[in-house]
Amino acid sequence: MIAGNWKMNGVGASLGEAYMIAGGLGDTTARVAICPPATLVQRLAEVLADSAVLVGGQDCRPEASGAFTGDVSAEQLADAGARLVVLGHSERRAGYGETDELVAHKVEAALRAGLEPIICVGETLEQRRGGQALAVVTGQVRGSLPDALKGKAFCVAYEPVWAIGTGLTPTTPEIEEVHRAIRETLVAMFGEAGRGVAILYGGSVKASNAAEILKADEVGGALVGGASLKAADFLGIIQAA
């Protein structure tokens, strides 16, 4: 899975980039997704209707509907054409105080609406320097993944907070150490089914480092921010997969 997170970027004119991404997939075997801002989900789903590129949301509220000004529900995303949703991104955990418990409720909402969740986890630089990276990340996996995921399709994205949008990336052994710990946690939680869950890496992935990151042990794809905004950059990552 190579998923692009456009964050709060993109207007109607950006749909052309998505169109070029769809047209440039070539013979990739990777699943490819673009998660635009909510304003573009429906238009992107229409543009990509005849392509293999999936459309996803970037967040959803646990409730299906109601008096929640400014929020979007999983059902609304699905209705607009989304097939996936990114949940628990560190920008939401840090900026909106999202807890593991809230993320788990959002995951349940995504499943209720038939969306495949991509659940993000990752440590801060302070936590890594304090030797807590594995404990933090596996704790987030345990707390953010509800039992309802048993038998369902989902991905986990390991995104070290300090690597997002900074140009910094962990070393390959550092990525592998965390991905192996996530895998062990998934197997402990979901049994053998936990071996089939794709664990994506995210944090300053670009065409020039994608091949090395994607061949690392237990890396099953990438969640890409900045480098998913331009077709040429994103296609370079897809081609490395």
Beta carbons within 10 angstroms of residue 173's beta carbon:
10
Residues 148-207 that bind ligand PEP (CB under 6 A): 159, 164-165, 202-205
Is the Cβ–Cβ distance between 5 and 58 less than 8 Å? yes
> Which CB, 170 or 202, lies closer to ligand PEP?
202
Question: Which residue number has the CB closest to ligand PEP?
Answer: 225
Please report whether residue 225 would count as binding ligand PEP according to CB under 6 A.
Answer: yes
User: What mask of x and - would describe binding to ligand PEP in positions 3 to 42, judged by CB under 6 A?
Assistant: --x-------------------------------------
Least distance (Å) between residue 66 CB and ligand PEP: 28
Q: Which residues are marked as active site? A: 89, 159
Pairing state between β 84-87 and 54-57: parallel
Give one DSSP letter per residue of 103-156, joined into a string.
HHHHHHHHHHTTPEEEEEE---HHHHHTT-HHHHHHHHHHHHS-GGGTTS--EE
Total residues in contact with ligand PEP, by rule CB under 6 A = 13
> Which CB, 87 or 110, lies closer to ligand PEP?
87
Binding span for ligand PEP by CB under 6 A among 58-66, 132-140, 211-219, 221-229: 221-229
Q: How many CA atoms lie within 13 A of 126 on its CB side?
A: 0
Please tell me the distance from the alpha carbon of residue 114 to that of residue 95, in angstroms, as a whole number. Answer: 27
User: Which of 18, 103, 224, 237 touches ligand PEP by CB under 6 A?
Assistant: 224
Please report whether residue 223 would count as binding ligand PEP according to CB under 6 A.
Answer: yes
174's tokens: 């550092």
> Which CB, 5 or 144, lies closer to ligand PEP?
5
DSSP 61: B
Least distance (Å) between residue 42 CB and ligand PEP: 22
Is the Cβ–Cβ distance between 78 and 114 less than 8 Å? yes
Residues at the contact surface with ligand PEP, assessed by CB under 6 A? 5, 159, 164-165, 202-205, 223-227
